[in-house]
Every structure is written in C-alpha cells, then in structure tokens.
Chains A and B, each alone.
Chain A
Amino acid sequence: MQSFDLGKDGLRALNSALHALKGQTNMTAWEVVNPKGAHAIAAGVDAPVDITVRGSTGYYCAGMNKQATIRIKGSAGPGVAENMMSGTVIVDGDASQYAGATGRGGLLVIKGNASSRCGISMKGIDIVVHGHIGHMSCFMAQSGNIVVLGDAGEALGDSLYEARIFVRGTVKSLGADCIEKEMREEHLLILEDLLRRGEADAKAKPEEFRRYGSARKLYNFNIDNAAAY
C-alpha cells in the first residue's frame, strides 16, 4: 500500500501522484493520513485504484472521480464526489451540502446523514444515504437514482427531470413538479441492487421505500403553471 502523509507532503504532491496513475497500475492501494479537512483531496483521479482517506475531508473530496474507489474514514465537507464520472466513493460519516452534485456516473455511499442539496443537478450518478438528507435535495436532478434510508427535508426534488428518488422515511415536503409515483417491479430491482452495493441491504428492504419523480408538468412553459415558478 502507498501511504501518503498529507500533513507532511501536501495536497499538490498527493494529487500530482494520483493523476500520474494512468490506466492499469501496480500501485492500486493508497492510504492518505492526516487529511485535516483539506479541500480537493483525490480530486480528478482517473485510474482503477483504491484510496482510503483516514480522517475527515474538506470541500470537493473525490471531485470528478473516474474509476477509483475512494473511502473516507470520517466525514466529508461540501461537494464530495461532485461531478463524479465513474467509480465509488464511500463516506463513513456524514456529508455536508451538495454531496454528489452534478454527478454523471458511479456510486456515492454516505453512511451517515447528508446535508442540504444532496444530489443537486445529478446527471446519472447513484447515491445511497444511510441516514437523512437535507432540504432542496435533488434540485433539478436530471438522471440517476438516490436512495435514502432515513427522512428527506423540505422541497425534495424541486424542478426535477428524470432522476428517481427513493425514500424510506418521511418527506417534509416535495418541491415543484415532484410527485410520489408508483413503485413497480423494475424499481424494486433497482433498489435491491443499490442497497446491496451501498452496503445497506442489512438495514432496509426495497419494499419499505416510496418512489418520487417528476410530474413533467414544467418541462415546457405554460402560463397556467406560473405559480410553480
């Protein structure tokens, strides 16, 4: 395992070393110690490596990740795994706001709670949150799936496009154009898969969730819907 002391060697050296990993590499396991809440840890990685960050991170940890599996053994600051393309990011603790924002692929697992705007503008990422999510989550979410084992805050899925939202607990309120939808077999299969990959299958079963999605009434402007804007 490659061990990297962030306190000693600095962020630039870490990201530079990670960016130098192209395609297949023998250096597949990395450990980052002393993160001390630094921003942009392991941002922009593009290699099938396993990176474990031992401690909490600042903004944008694992930002734009491709291929890598990044484990945060602590909590994550704002924008964890923002615009992730592929790979997996697992946060053992809580995640601050904008977790998985604009993510286009891959899997983000948050074992604690996620703050406001979780999954904002998501574009294909899958997100599994073991705890609760905050207000305005999935705002303008375009595609992908989000699974929430706990509760959701206000204005869930406001101005939603085609993303699927699964919530086991209560929803404080739905945002504009977001409605509860029928849970069909295909959705139960999606849930089963995501709960398993999100290391949550021992905590919840697919049948316990409700599904939310777009009513598609705001897709084209209509003056009679003006009150929703």
Chain B
Amino acid sequence: MSDFPHTPPKFSWTFSPEANAEIRRAAASGIYDIRGGGSKRRLPHFDDLLFLGASISRYPLEGYREKCGTDVWLGTRFAKKPIHLDIPITIAGMSFGSLSGPAKEALGRGASAAGTSTTTGDGGMTEEERGHSKTLVYQYLPSRYGMNPDDLRRADAIELVVGQGAKPGGGGMLLGQKISDRVAMMRNLPKGIDQRSACRHPDWTGPDDMEIKIHELREITDWQIPIYVKIGGARPYYDTALSVKAGADVVVLDGMQGGTAATQDVFIEHVGQPTLACIPQAVKALQDLGMHRKVQLIVSGGIRNGADVAKALALGADAVSIGTAALIALGDNDPALEAEYKKLGTTAGAYDDWHEGRDPAGITTQDPELYNRFDPILGGRRLTNYLKVMTLEAQTIARACGKNHLHNLEPEDLCALTIEAAAMAGVPIAGTNWIPGRNGF
C-alpha cells in the first residue's frame, strides 16, 4: 500500500449509476422498461420564460376590480355546435382501463364544476365519464376499442388521435394486469392479455385519407360537433398545416412532457420534441395559412400552473390541456401514501409503474380494493379547486401585463432566460433584443 492519497471514487458521466442500473435491469429481465408519465429529462420549458409585466408604456389592470376574461370557443370553423368553455384549461384524454372508473368520474365532476371539458381515451366512453362530464370530447383512436356511432353522437366533440407527445409514432399498450372483465368486454378482447393499440389508424393513411375520414365523421354526426386532430410533438409545423388542410376544427398539440399510461421509457425519453419548441411552429403554420384563431390550438405536455397556462397562451395557443397534473390533483403520488409507495419499491413523486395496476392512490388501477379507496366526489372537488387556482394565476399574470382577456397575451409580453428557450419560443433573451435564429444570428 502506498502512502499517497488515492484518487477518490469517480463515476462516469456516460456510464452513470442510473445508466448502469438500467443495463443490469435489462440484462436480468429481458424486457425494456415500461412506465407511465412523460419525459423526466430536464427540458427547456415554460420555466425558462418570464413575463415582462406592465411599465410606463404598458399599463396594468387592477387585480381585484377589472375583468380579465378566460373563456374560449373551440370548433368554430365547421361545427354547428362549437364548444364554449369558461376556462382555457381542458382535461386531456386518458383511457378507462389505464384509469379506474371512479377516477374518470372525478375528472368529469371536477372539470364540469370548473366549466371545462374532459376527454375519453383508448377504451371507449364510460357512463361514469359521460354522466359526470358536461362537455365530453370523444377520442377516435387507431385501436377503435369501444368505438361505436352512438357514443360518437353522444359526445360534444371528436378528437381524432394521430399522435401523442409521449410517443409520437407509437401505439399504446395496456398490460394484462389491468385487463379486468369490464375492460376486456369494452375492448372486445380476452381478459388478462397484453392489449396492444395500433400506432396507425386501420382504415386510412396519410393526410388525403385523413381528410376523407374527417368528412365521414362529420357526415355520421351530421356536422353538429367539432372535430379535433391530436398530434404529437414530431413535426408540428407540417402536422398542424396538414390537419388544417384535412378539415380540423381544432388542433391538439402534445409535447414530449405529455404523459402516457404505459410506454417504453426509451420511447418517452428519445422521441419527440419539448412542448416549448412545438408551440411556435404550430402557431406559425396556422398564421401562414391565415387560420390562427379560426382553427383553435390546444397545447398539452407539462402544464402545471397558471404561469404555464399564460405562457402557452401568450405563444399563441387558444387553450391548454392537462393530464399528469390532473392526476396529481386527484391524489396521485401523494406523499401521504409514502409507506405504500415504499412497499412498491419506489417513492411518492417518482411512482410511474401505472401499468402494473397497483396504484395505492386508487387512480391508475382496475383493482376494486384499490379504486374503492378513491373518493370521486372529493377527487372532483380537488380538481375543481386546482383548475380555479390555475385560472386565477393566469389572470393575475395577464392583468399584470395589461390584458383584459387571457387570449390577449402575446409573445411580446415574454422574454427568455436561456438561449435554448429563446430560440425555441422565438422571444428575446432577457435584457436583450436577441432572438437566436432570427435575422441570421
């Protein structure tokens, strides 16, 4: 033994303990890691933007006296009955199957009380959801699980799903553990098998076919209700433009922080673009076509608070959609359940094995013992509170910027803290007039 000091242990940045643990897990199990949620990377996001606020040249509105509107119309392009929501924050599509019946009921209760819409998911429409949702958007997905014309006509809008931010280009999966009798019956498949949802629609391919498919859906619903097209954050400029061309009333754009019930981790973390990078591209497509505000844009993927809402709207969105945040509001990953999360080998805040159906919060499970723990009335109330707080927060910011409606926020109200965020959002870096990528610089 030398008396010289040893070099302290040094972990490789490339072969980090986390990367090595995944190598060992893969070697032991022979299957890729599947999990729920969206990207967990540190991505450029709304936190990298700031509002400038009012000044001598822009005067603010009085916080508790002057109105700041929050309502939004969706589907004004072709539908005879466009949707009018009190707040521009909707609940994203999440399937019955991935979520329990009581969780779907809570989403309906909470959203309706706050004056907004909920959305079905892969697996069809449940009575819990229809019954408790004043405004319900019906997802039309490649799997067509549970799809029927009666539910299509009972919906207030149809969302034709082309992609999802967590996995643009991927289908879905619901592993056998969560296939109860009811889920199996709704999906017309045997109980207990892994249910794969196709990545492409079975009866159309490409934008020209999509236009004909939208036309069929309009004919079947007698042109009454709006048709949304949901795209993942892959090529937002072109996908938005093609959706408009195909006849969409509304484009729903989901960035890579958007969640999923169960997908390969490698897919979630390595395919797609951050929400922040997607919004300006989609808005530009709408502007180039002269359709901004005529075809509405709903943005999802990582929306957590009223500041995120205000920033998304300032960049040109008409509304936002929340999924993960809504589940957290219901009680998902609550530290109060830490002892049970520990038993599952995880910790509150990091639990993402929703596909295993053992959620102690009773939200992402089909086990009656677990989902009966969840109170849909209380859950709904919590969601309503959360939606109202987000709205108040967004109004607070809008008034500070001198806007009497959330839709009057604009990119000019923003600056960025990082070069990346500035380039993606198309707003100047704080303290400068520099927007990276503009004017040749």
Task: Give Cα A117 to B209, complex, Å.
Answer: 15
Q: B147 at the A/B interface (Cβ < 8 Å)?
A: yes
Q: Are A44 and B194 in contact (CB under 8 A)?
A: no
Given contacts A142-B188, A159-B196, contact A220 B176 (CB under 8 A): yes
- Scoring B147, B148, B149, B219 by chain A CB atoms within 10 A of each residue's CB, the highest score goes to B219
Which residues of A are found within 8 Å of B193, using beta-carbon distances?
161, 219-220
Q: A66 at the A/B interface (Cβ < 8 Å)?
A: yes
Which residues of B are found within 8 Å of A83, using beta-carbon distances?
144, 147-149
Q: Are B216 and A63 in contact (CB under 8 A)?
A: yes
Task: Give Cα A137 to B216, complex, Å.
Answer: 23
Q: A143 at the A/B interface (Cβ < 8 Å)?
A: yes
CB distance from A173 to the nearest CB of B (A): 20
Stretch in contact with the other chain, from A22-30, A98-106, A148-156, A185-193: A98-106
Which residues of A are found within 8 Å of B149, using beta-carbon distances?
44, 46, 64, 66, 83, 85
Q: B345 at the A/B interface (Cβ < 8 Å)?
A: no
Q: Are A40 and B219 in contact (CB under 8 A)?
A: yes
Q: B198 at the A/B interface (Cβ < 8 Å)?
A: yes
Task: Give Cα A82 to B202, complex, Å.
Answer: 9
Q: Are B30 and A120 in contact (CB under 8 A)?
A: no
Task: Give Cα A123 to B145, complex, Å.
Answer: 9
Q: Are B219 and A221 in contact (CB under 8 A)?
A: no
Stretch in contact with the other chain, from A9-17, A48-56, A107-115, A196-204: A9-17
Q: A75 at the A/B interface (Cβ < 8 Å)?
A: no
Task: Give Cα A64 to B213, complex, Å.
Answer: 12
Q: Are A78 and B216 in contact (CB under 8 A)?
A: no
Q: B212 at the A/B interface (Cβ < 8 Å)?
A: yes
Q: B143 at the A/B interface (Cβ < 8 Å)?
A: yes
Q: Are B215 and A40 in contact (CB under 8 A)?
A: yes
Task: Give Cα A42 to B196, complex, Å.
Answer: 31
Which residues of A are found within 8 Å of B209, using beta-carbon distances?
59, 78
Out of B31, B148, B194, B222, name the residue touching A219 (CB < 8 Å): B194
Which residues of B are found within 8 Å of A19, using beta-carbon distances?
222
Task: Give Cα A66 to B156, complex, Å.
Answer: 21
Which residues of A are found within 8 Å of B192, using beta-carbon distances?
220
CB distance from A50 to the nearest CB of B (A): 19
Q: A79 at the A/B interface (Cβ < 8 Å)?
A: yes
Q: A31 at the A/B interface (Cβ < 8 Å)?
A: no
Chain A interface, DSSP helix/strand/loop, else mixed = loop
Out of A78, A85, A98, A143, name the residue touching B188 (CB < 8 Å): A143
Total interface residues in chain B, CB < 8 Å: 30
- Contacts of B208-241 to chain A: CB distance below 8 A: 209, 212-213, 215-216, 219-223
Out of A15, A40, A121, A220, name the residue touching B144 (CB < 8 Å): A121
Q: Are A102 and B194 in contact (CB under 8 A)?
A: no
Out of B31, B196, B202, B220, name the residue touching A44 (CB < 8 Å): B220
Q: Are B144 and A123 in contact (CB under 8 A)?
A: yes
Out of B202, B204, B212, B219, name the residue touching A15 (CB < 8 Å): B219
Total interface residues in chain A, CB < 8 Å: 42
Which residues of A are found within 8 Å of B221, using beta-carbon distances?
44
Given contacts A15-B222, A44-B220, contact A121 B202 (CB under 8 A): yes
Q: B189 at the A/B interface (Cβ < 8 Å)?
A: yes
Q: A175 at the A/B interface (Cβ < 8 Å)?
A: no
Q: A71 at the A/B interface (Cβ < 8 Å)?
A: no
CB distance from B379 to the nearest CB of A (A): 32
Q: Are A102 and B189 in contact (CB under 8 A)?
A: no
Q: Are A60 and B222 in contact (CB under 8 A)?
A: no
Which residues of A are found within 8 Å of B213, using beta-carbon distances?
59-60
Task: Give Cα A140 to B216, complex, Å.
Answer: 23
Given contacts A64-B149, A140-B196, contact A101 B202 (CB under 8 A): yes
Interface bits B175-189 vs A (CB < 8 Å: 1, else 0): 010000000000011
Q: A223 at the A/B interface (Cβ < 8 Å)?
A: yes
Q: A157 at the A/B interface (Cβ < 8 Å)?
A: no
Q: B203 at the A/B interface (Cβ < 8 Å)?
A: yes
Given contacts A83-B144, A121-B198, A221-B194, contact A59 B188 (CB under 8 A): no
Out of B176, B189, B194, B203, name the residue touching A120 (CB < 8 Å): B203
Task: Give Cα A165 to B143, complex, Å.
Answer: 20
Out of A12, A40, A220, name the residue touching B216 (CB < 8 Å): A40
Given contacts A60-B216, A120-B202, A143-B188, contact A220 B222 (CB under 8 A): no
Which residues of B are found within 8 Å of A40, using beta-carbon distances?
212, 215-216, 219-220
Q: A35 at the A/B interface (Cβ < 8 Å)?
A: no
Q: B190 at the A/B interface (Cβ < 8 Å)?
A: yes
Q: Are B148 and A59 in contact (CB under 8 A)?
A: no
**Nearest residue, chain A, Cβ from B34:** A221
Which residues of B are found within 8 Å of A44, using beta-carbon distances?
149, 219-221
Q: A124 at the A/B interface (Cβ < 8 Å)?
A: yes
Q: A39 at the A/B interface (Cβ < 8 Å)?
A: yes
- Contacts of A174-229 to chain B: CB distance below 8 A: 219-221, 223-224
Q: Are A39 and B144 in contact (CB under 8 A)?
A: no
Q: Are B188 and A123 in contact (CB under 8 A)?
A: yes
Q: Are B189 and A43 in contact (CB under 8 A)?
A: no
**Nearest residue, chain B, Cβ from A15:** B219
Which residues of A are found within 8 Å of B202, using beta-carbon distances?
98, 101-102, 117, 120-121, 139-140
**What are 9 of the A-B contact pairs (CB < 8 Å)?**
A11-B219, A15-B219, A40-B212, A44-B149, A102-B144, A102-B147, A219-B194, A220-B176, A220-B193
Residues of A within 8 A of B (CB): 11-12, 15-16, 19, 39-40, 43-44, 46, 58-60, 63-64, 66, 78-79, 82-83, 85, 98, 101-102, 104, 117, 120-121, 123-124, 139-140, 142-143, 159, 161-162, 219-221, 223-224
Q: Told that A43-B220, A220-B192 touch, could you supply 15 new A-B pairs with CB distance under 8 A?
A: A11-B219, A15-B220, A39-B212, A43-B216, A64-B152, A64-B220, A78-B203, A78-B204, A79-B216, A83-B147, A83-B149, A85-B149, A161-B193, A162-B190, A221-B194
